Amino acid sequence: MNTAFKPGLFEGKTAIITGGGTGIGLRIAREMAHLGATVILASRKMENLLTAVDLITSEGGKAHAVECNIRQEESIKACVAKTIELTGKIDYLVNNGGGQFPSPAELISPKGWHAVIETNLTGTFFMSQEVFKKQFVNTGGSIVNIIANMRNGFPIMAHTGAARAGVENITKSLATEWGKYGVRVNAVAPGVIKSSGLDRYDPAYKDFILSFAKNNQTTRLGTEAEVSSAVLFLLCPAASYISGVTLAVDAAESLYSPVMPPVANNANPAYEG
């Protein structure tokens, strides 16, 4: 486990990381645990969480698995209560858990739409609210929301583009409302990251998503470590004057990004006056 941060940076601190059993969330959890934090890995699949806890423990870290479905209010409440029971407090929340499926907009069903919005937007909001009510209102704390590059829309994933844009806005609202309690709220917007999440995509779309790699200034995919270091920086005291911002970790993809370039067509005849 290599890290750019000083040993013991998160000693004595507790962090909840939703989706901490896999991919980017696991990398964040491992790095925080390496730096002294007790990490709570929270998601639906206990099997993945327990494997991740074993890994972190074998690396000398402190980790617990707590089942949590961020789409269910009662599950969120139980997860936050369990965390406080296990560790006595919460210092950090990383809203990383999320998911979506590629689909042309006209084929997204109401069920699919609501599932993506409930997970990525509603789940993130209520997780933050519960942690605030049970802990941060009294002690302050720091939240980082993982969103995505949806600056120019999110063709073939309109649902998650909408959800993540919502989370970016919530980030600003909460940073403003909760600042007086010592709570900082920021977001990290990764470009296309080589993570386990990519493997879950339908092969037909995976190639399309991988082709985004051409659209950033490194012409490669990002790494989980590159996202993790941005998240850890925003959480840690060195970022104490930073709140309400979104940090793009995308090698400038969001400044360029012709994800779906125009195709020749006769569907838009010119208006000649």
Binding site for ligand NAP (CB under 6 A): 18-19, 21-25, 43-45, 48, 68-71, 96-99, 119, 123, 146, 148, 190, 192-193, 195-198, 200
- Measured CA to CA, the distance from residue 195 to residue 136 in angstroms comes to 31
Our CB check for ligand NAP shows the closer of 24 and 236 to be 24
Our CB check for ligand NAP shows the closer of 177 and 199 to be 199
Our CB check for ligand NAP shows the closer of 38 and 75 to be 75
Q: How far is the CB of 57 from ligand NAP (least distance, A)?
A: 18
Q: How far is the CB of 6 from ligand NAP (least distance, A)?
A: 26
Query: Residue 202: what are its φ and ψ, rounded to 5°?
Result: -50, 130
Our CB check for ligand NAP shows the closer of 139 and 221 to be 221
The 10 Å Cβ neighbour count of residue 269 is 6
Our CB check for ligand NAP shows the closer of 18 and 38 to be 18
Q: How far is the CB of 157 from ligand NAP (least distance, A)?
A: 9
Our CB check for ligand NAP shows the closer of 38 and 43 to be 43
By the 10 Å C-beta count (0-12 exposed, 13-18 middle, 19+ buried), 112 is classed as middle
